[in-house]
Amino acid sequence: MCLRVKFYPPDPAALKEEITRYLVFLQVKRDLYHGRLLCKTSDAALLAAYILQAEIGDYDPGKHPEGYSSKFQFFPKHSEKLERRIAEIHKTELIGQTPETSELNFLQKAQTLETYGVDPHPCKDVSGNPAFLAFTPFGFTVLQGNRRVHFLKWEEVTKLKFEAKTFHIYATQNEDRKIILTYFAPTPEACKHLWKCGVENQAFYKLEKSSQVRTVSSSNLFFKGSRFRYSGKVAKEVMEQSARIKRDPPEIHRAGMVPSRSCPSITHGPRLTSVPRTRRRAVHISIMEGLESLRDSAHSTPVRSVSHGDSFMSSRGHLEDRSEASTSGVISDETYSPSDSVLPTPVAEDGVELPSARHLNGAPCSIDEEKELEARALKEGQGGEFRPGLLNIYGASKNTVEACLEQILVRVLGKTF
């Protein structure tokens, strides 16, 4: 089981306890490694230098030989020139910074980037061009190629709607300009998942109180659509409650950095364990083709605008200057292409197959390797030995999960329930 941050703080410095900032630091560092947090080379070098300073301390010629920064992997890929720049910043600009200071500086730099806190969802625009739709603490954004082609603040978004694979975003800017953005998700289930994420993020960051969340009465038999709504405290309530914490600061056990891997448990191969086995090859091809075409795509999504006559936490200056929906801005020297393993892949509840996710040396197996492992496991299972694997039940119905657990108990205990 892997825990992660769901709602990123708009201002990490406002978090009261150091342990909370440290957990957010770990998540954003992981985003950097996954390719979720993508930025220009100069910013990437500074972020990596902060990580080095936080985790190995000041530069020491006796402990850190020439090329020491190359032993650590901060990004999906980087050059020798970038490694030299990371080491240069670490040696000369960050001397004396404590881990706490370096982590806070890292977060304050990361929050200024266009891809901070994004939850990327692969989609296509009305022209068929691949894109990533993302929700951030500041609003809704669309990434294509190495550019951010759209950005809408949460207070500008008026409605989120989905119909089968089609996702619509309605927004109003400058009181008289209405905007409708339309995108297409790979499946209806992925589109509904995208909509749910948008509903939760908008409610969490935009509303002043959780009581403002509009719910649908279960007695309304004529209501058409999903009854899903955000449930829980909103950002402002969370921060107010955090400010009232009165306790001794919890002790923080910082984990040292592992050479050659900033996050040793992360792999960059496609992770398709939540997709039925019969669809895996098609989904794998679809994802890889989409990411490949995204590298060459620089098209902006068409915007339908109509002129009519008739949140939480005020962001700081650099956040107020974020571009409007029709403005295109370069976010990096490279194409935005986050690791496939962190992209959402929900499936339909009906007929969900729950395959075991098996890995070889920490990396996902190929389809042929997986079949060979399954045949071997079946043969061993017939011999009376049960070898449990990792079970992915994301998107499964309650009945499916119960049936699966019952099968496991039968095989382990030899009893029928």
Counting residues of the chain whose pLDDT is more than 90, the rounded percentage is: 44
Q: Residue 256 has what pLDDT?
A: 62
With cut-offs at 50, 70 and 90, classify the pLDDT of residue 46: very high
Tens digit of each residue's pLDDT (9 = 90 or more) over 15-24 = 999 999 999 9
User: Between residues 243 and 357, which one has the greater pLDDT?
Assistant: 243
Q: Residue 84 has what pLDDT?
A: 94
Range of lowest pLDDT (34-38, 120-124, 173-177, 394-398): 394-398
Direct distance between the N- and C-terminal alpha carbons of the chain, in angstroms, rounded to an integer = 27
SS3 content of the chain, % helix, strand, coil (to 5): 35, 15, 50
With cut-offs at 50, 70 and 90, classify the pLDDT of residue 130: very high
User: Between residues 393 and 6, which one has the greater pLDDT?
Assistant: 6
Q: Residue 286 has what pLDDT?
A: 41
Per DSSP, what are the bridge partners of residue 170? 159, 180
With cut-offs at 50, 70 and 90, classify the pLDDT of residue 92: very high
User: Between residues 289 and 193, which one has the greater pLDDT?
Assistant: 193
Range of lowest pLDDT (106-120, 151-165, 354-368): 354-368
3-state secondary structure of 218: coil
The 10 Å Cβ neighbour count of residue 324 is: 15
The amino acid occupying position 246 is K
Q: Residue 332 has what pLDDT?
A: 85
With 80 as the cut, is the pLDDT of residue 236 above it? yes
Q: Which two tokens stand for residue 124?
A: 């296509």
With 80 as the cut, is the pLDDT of residue 162 above it? yes
User: Between residues 182 and 376, which one has the greater pLDDT?
Assistant: 182
Tens digit of each residue's pLDDT (9 = 90 or more) over 202-228 = 989 998 888 877 766 555 555 455 766
With cut-offs at 50, 70 and 90, classify the pLDDT of residue 166: very high
Q: Residue 242 has what pLDDT?
A: 86
Average pLDDT on 32-55 reads 94
Q: Provide the CA 306 distance to its chain's centre, in angstroms.
A: 33
Report how far residue 47's alpha carbon sits from residue 113's, in angstroms, rounded to the nearest whole number. Answer: 11
With cut-offs at 50, 70 and 90, classify the pLDDT of residue 111: very high
User: Between residues 283 and 134, which one has the greater pLDDT?
Assistant: 134
Average pLDDT on 241-247 reads 88
Q: Residue 9 has what pLDDT?
A: 94
Q: Residue 278 has what pLDDT?
A: 42
Average pLDDT on 8-15 reads 93
pTM for the model stands at 0.67
Tens digit of each residue's pLDDT (9 = 90 or more) over 283-320 = 344 434 443 433 333 333 333 333 333 333 434 344 44
Closest CA to 152 of 138, 163, 166: 138
**Dihedral in degrees, nearest 10, Cα atoms 315, 318, 319, 320:** 80
Residue ranges and CATH numbers for the domains of the chain are: 15-115 (1.20.80.10), 118-232 (2.30.29.30)
Report how far residue 201's alpha carbon sits from residue 229's, in angstroms, rounded to the nearest whole number. Answer: 11
Q: Residue 354 has what pLDDT?
A: 34
Q: Residue 156 has what pLDDT?
A: 94
Range of lowest pLDDT (77-86, 169-178, 261-270): 261-270
3-state secondary structure of 341: helix
With 80 as the cut, is the pLDDT of residue 231 above it? no
DSSP label of 210: G
Counting residues of the chain whose pLDDT is more than 70, the rounded percentage is: 62
With cut-offs at 50, 70 and 90, classify the pLDDT of residue 372: low
Q: How many CA atoms lie within 13 Å of 165's alpha carbon, on the beta-carbon side?
A: 10
Q: Residue 279 has what pLDDT?
A: 41
Q: Provide the CA 234 distance to its chain's centre, in angstroms.
A: 19
The amino acid occupying position 233 is K
